[in-house]
Amino acid sequence: MVFPADPVAVRQALCALFTGWTPGPISSEARDAAQIVLAEALNNIVEHAYALAPGEIEVTVEATQGGVTCQIIDAGVPLPGGALPDGRLPSPAAAEDLSEGGYGWHLIRSLAEDLCYRREGGRNLLSFRISAQQSSE
Amino acid sequence: MRLDCTHTPDLMIVHVREPRIDAAGAIDFKDRMRDLTAQDGRRVLLDLSDVMFIDSSGLGAVVAVRKALGPERPLELSGLTPSVEKVFRLTRMDSVFIIHPTAPAGADGLRDAG
């Protein structure tokens, strides 16, 4: 699936992928986790990789017995330092000082396995797997 | 972004009639909530029972609404669907917000909650 890097196109892509997902080997927990991780990864690409110039995103999603594998390719700028952010939660704060951002990579890191990022031929390749067996956490 | 508003003497219930609060709708949600709550001093309960998906942008917007209401009117939530509950739990926001287990059938039972 290829679509332009903007928030509305991301929403439409996620709805196309996850609405009417037929029950099978993938539990609803794994499906929810896959949608959350994909959404965060795609929003990051829209917001950061394509912050300065528009572009396209290519997504491949495959459901197997073991879970859901996803690959995302974009031609935006590389991740800072060429590495995945560590996804630490914003430090706990008083209610009035709560951070309104900084939760995306934490969600990705919490839910995805085999997270892999590389830069190849001017493109960013991100892949990950959502286990069919979701722990209670 | 469709938000339905009902009132009891001390509570304003905002029912989000949308399946998603995501990056494409977060700013609209925040603006609409500000407009709805600005001219009303009641406590605010956000009914999320129709919301099947929230991302970190949507979560950030809910946090922004809470901050805008100020410490005297802590935002209360109800009707979290499994995916939304997962996002709140993983980001530890479940310990920040007052979360009622079910959507209110009537507001009576909620007056003393929290």
Look at B7-21, B34-48, B93-107 and tell me which has the smallest mean pLDDT: B93-107
pLDDT digits (tens, 9 = 90+) for B65-94: 999 999 889 899 999 999 999 999 999 999
pLDDT digits (tens, 9 = 90+) for B31-41: 999 999 998 88
CB contact under 8 A, B56 and A101: yes
Residue A80 domain flag: yes
CATH number of the domain bearing residue A87 = 3.30.565.10
Query: Residue B112's pLDDT is what?
Result: 44
Residue A92 domain flag: yes
Q: What is the bridge-based pairing of β-strands A67-74 and A113-120?
A: unpaired
- List, for chain A, all residue ranges whose pLDDT scores fall below the cut of 70: 22-23, 92-96, 135-137
Residue A9 domain flag: yes
Rounded percentage of chain B residues whose pLDDT exceeds 70 = 89
Stretch B21-47: mean pLDDT, rounded? 95
Domain around A66: 2-131
Query: Residue A90's pLDDT is what?
Result: 82
Long-range contacts of A43-47 (CB under 8 A, 24+ apart): A43/A7, A43/A10, A43/A104, A43/B23, A43/B55, A43/B56, A43/B57, A44/A104, A44/A105, A45/A5, A45/A72, A45/A74, A45/A76, A45/A124, A46/A5, A46/A6, A46/A7, A46/A10, A46/B23, A47/B23
CB contact under 8 A, A32 and B86: yes
Residue A137 domain flag: no
Residue A136 domain flag: no
Inter-residue contact B11 to B109 (CB < 8 Å): no
List domains and CATH numbers for chain B.
3-104 (3.30.750.24)
Residue A42 domain flag: yes
Residue A40 domain flag: yes
- Which residue is closest to B89 within chain A, CA to CA? A137
Residues in chain B whose beta carbon is closer than 8 A to a beta carbon of chain A? 20, 22-25, 53, 55-57, 59-61, 63-64, 66-67, 70-71, 74, 82-83, 86-87, 90-92, 96
Q: Binning pLDDT at 50, 70 and 90, where does residue B113 land?
A: very low
Averaged pLDDT score across all residues of chain B: 90
Query: Residue B54's pLDDT is what?
Result: 98
Q: How many domains does chain A have?
A: 1
